[in-house]
């Protein structure tokens, strides 16, 4: 089934043409506004795929609340209420807008996704995303074992279709920030292995931009190398997310951060970039703001490619052999191997790994997460471990093992916001000022 879905095919054609695919995180309550948003993204001055992001009522299976909001105040919904609109209406929308040259992904954020995955497939979506870990631990208190079971059934449902949906891991985006890159890479690979085990063959692996360009380049190289090693014969690509934590408050800081993420995508060989907009720090962005962000990212990516920073797409090794300056690849591989060491189904291994603290997401309060590992930003501006908990990772020499105070954690969370708001426009890529 390699390459059978049109989302995979579109991204592959764009890569072969030397173009970065850019994508918004867009969702609106009203059917007409969602249609207008998709058409605007399709017609943007960029190589785009469409996004339908679901609302929080639908994600939480609050069907009655979604229906009431759709009837009474649809403009207030923070996404698209797929089930409230109904499969026939959504199918008609996608048949009108989506095509081989403009596939559409539906994004949801649901720990228990079976109903939604069935509806997406029946409506004709090209792709979706998430994962049994990344859509469980940050999003509520649903037991990890229950989430794994439902994601297993959902993936098998999608895999049984004549053309399965493309599936994107969200493991590389855990909590948005302050998760060291080796764990993000490992979780993305583990969720991809879970998807393949349940029959899916068009897979993308996510990674969220963090705080240090050199470290992020190393992480993208490690992610591609591990994906190539662990997913032979499976169509896969890398998707980068513009920084998902506290966004700059100023317009110039936001645009600088967005442009840096596009440059990172090009230099790191990512095939797709999910963007954010300068409105992110304040409110849900409009259609026009989404389109402007796509054009800004595409322009930055094109300039970076023209300057010769893009890996040679004709050389299969060009994307991945960036030196492992800090051993990030080796640490991510160790985490993957430790999680899978007991053998058996990937989902069961994930449940056991979190129960034993072999995998442990810093600052994540879910009951099934040990929450003993801690991360910090070191003197070079890179993310590292300050406390390992039960994980097979090594804290940075001299890292403070004491629990961070609320003030210190707030300082860490605001790191990118402060430096990009203060950054001089036109400063070289990777420099804060």
The tens digit of pLDDT for each residue in 374-399 reads 999 988 889 999 999 999 998 877 66
According to the per-residue pLDDT averaged within each range, which of 279-288, 356-365, 378-387 is highest? 356-365
Q: How far apart are CA 341 and CA 122, in angstroms?
A: 37
Confidence at residue 322, expressed as pLDDT on a 0 to 100 scale? 52
pLDDT band for 429, please (50, 70, 90 cuts): low
Smallest CA-to-CA distance from 121 within 98, 91, 152, 101 is with 91
Inform me whether the pLDDT recorded for 400 exceeds 60: no
Convert the pLDDT of each residue in 50-93 to its tens digit. 999 999 999 999 999 999 999 999 988 999 999 999 999 999 99
Contacts of residue 355, Cβ cutoff 8 Å, sequence gap at least 6: 368
Inform me whether the pLDDT recorded for 304 exceeds 50: yes
What is the number of other CB atoms lying within 10 angstroms of the CB of residue 399? 17
Inform me whether the pLDDT recorded for 355 exceeds 50: yes
Convert the pLDDT of each residue in 206-250 to its tens digit. 999 999 999 999 999 999 999 999 999 999 999 999 999 888 888
Q: How far apart are CA 149 and CA 371, in angstroms?
A: 23
Inform me whether the pLDDT recorded for 276 exceeds 80: yes
Inform me whether the pLDDT recorded for 314 exceeds 60: no
Inform me whether the pLDDT recorded for 402 exceeds 70: no
- The answer to whether 116 and 66 have CB atoms below 8 angstroms apart is no
pLDDT band for 3, please (50, 70, 90 cuts): very low
Alpha-carbon separation of residue 57 from 65, 154, 298, 302 (angstroms): 6, 20, 33, 38
Q: What share of the chain is helix, strand, coil (3-state, %, to 5)?
A: 45, 10, 45
Confidence at residue 43, expressed as pLDDT on a 0 to 100 scale? 97
Question: Among 3-12, 88-97, 347-356, which stretch is predicted with the lowest mean pLDDT?
Answer: 3-12
Inform me whether the pLDDT recorded for 155 exceeds 50: yes
Give 272's strand partners: 21, 239
100, two tokens = 């081989």
At residue 396's C-alpha, the angle toward residues 394 and 397, to 5°, is: 110
Confidence at residue 409, expressed as pLDDT on a 0 to 100 scale? 83
Average confidence (pLDDT) over 273-280: 90
* Helix (H), strand (E), coil (C) string for 346-374: HHHHHHHHHHHCCCCCCCCCCCCCCCCCE
Confidence at residue 280, expressed as pLDDT on a 0 to 100 scale? 73
């Amino acid at each position: 089934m390699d390459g059978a879905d049109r989302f995979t095919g579109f991204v592959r054609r764009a890569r072969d043409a030397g173009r970065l695919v850019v994508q918004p995180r867009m969702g609106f309550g009203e059917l007409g506004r969602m249609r207008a948003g998709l058409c605007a993204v399709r017609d943007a001055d960029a190589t785009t795929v469409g996004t339908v992001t679901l609302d929080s009522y639908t994600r939480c299976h609050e069907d009655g609340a979604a229906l009431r909001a759709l009837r009474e105040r649809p403009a207030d919904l923070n996404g698209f209420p797929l089930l409230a609109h109904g499969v026939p209406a959504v199918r008609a929308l996608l048949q009108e807008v989506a095509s081989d040259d403009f596939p559409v992904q539906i994004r949801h954020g649901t720990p228990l996704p079976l109903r939604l995955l069935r509806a997406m497939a029946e409506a004709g979506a090209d792709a979706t995303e998430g994962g049994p870990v990344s859509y469980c631990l940050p999003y509520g208190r649903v037991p990890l074992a229950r989430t794994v079971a439902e994601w297993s059934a959902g993936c098998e449902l999608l895999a049984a279709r004549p053309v399965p949906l493309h599936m994107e891991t969200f493991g590389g985006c855990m909590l948005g920030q302050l998760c060291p890159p080796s764990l993000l890479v490992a979780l993305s690979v583990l969720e991809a292995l879970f998807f393949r085990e349940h029959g899916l063959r068009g897979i993308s692996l996510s990674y969220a931009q963090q705080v240090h360009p050199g470290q992020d380049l190393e992480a993208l190289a490690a992610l591609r190398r591990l994906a190539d090693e662990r997913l032979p014969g499976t169509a896969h690509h890398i998707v980068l997310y513009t920084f998902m934590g506290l966004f700059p408050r100023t317009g110039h800081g936001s645009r600088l951060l967005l442009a840096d993420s596009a440059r990172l995508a090009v230099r790191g060989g990512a095939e797709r970039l999910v963007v954010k907009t300068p409105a992110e720090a304040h409110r849900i962005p409009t259609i026009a703001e989404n389109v402007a962000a796509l054009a800004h990212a595409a322009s930055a990516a094109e300039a970076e490619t023209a300057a010769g920073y893009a890996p040679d797409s004709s050389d299969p090794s060009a994307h991945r052999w960036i030196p492992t300056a800090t051993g990030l690849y080796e640490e991510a591989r160790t985490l993957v191997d430790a999680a899978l060491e007991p053998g058996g189904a990937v989902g069961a291994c994930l449940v056991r790994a979190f129960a034993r603290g072999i995998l442990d997401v810093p600052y994540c309060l879910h009951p099934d997460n040990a929450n003993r590992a801690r991360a910090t930003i070191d003197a070079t501006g890179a993310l590292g471990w300050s406390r390992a908990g039960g994980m097979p990772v090594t804290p940075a020499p001299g890292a403070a093992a004491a629990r961070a105070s609320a003030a210190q954690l707030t300082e860490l969370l605001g790191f990118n916001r402060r430096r990009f708001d203060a950054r001089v426009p036109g400063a070289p890529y990777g420099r804060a000022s």
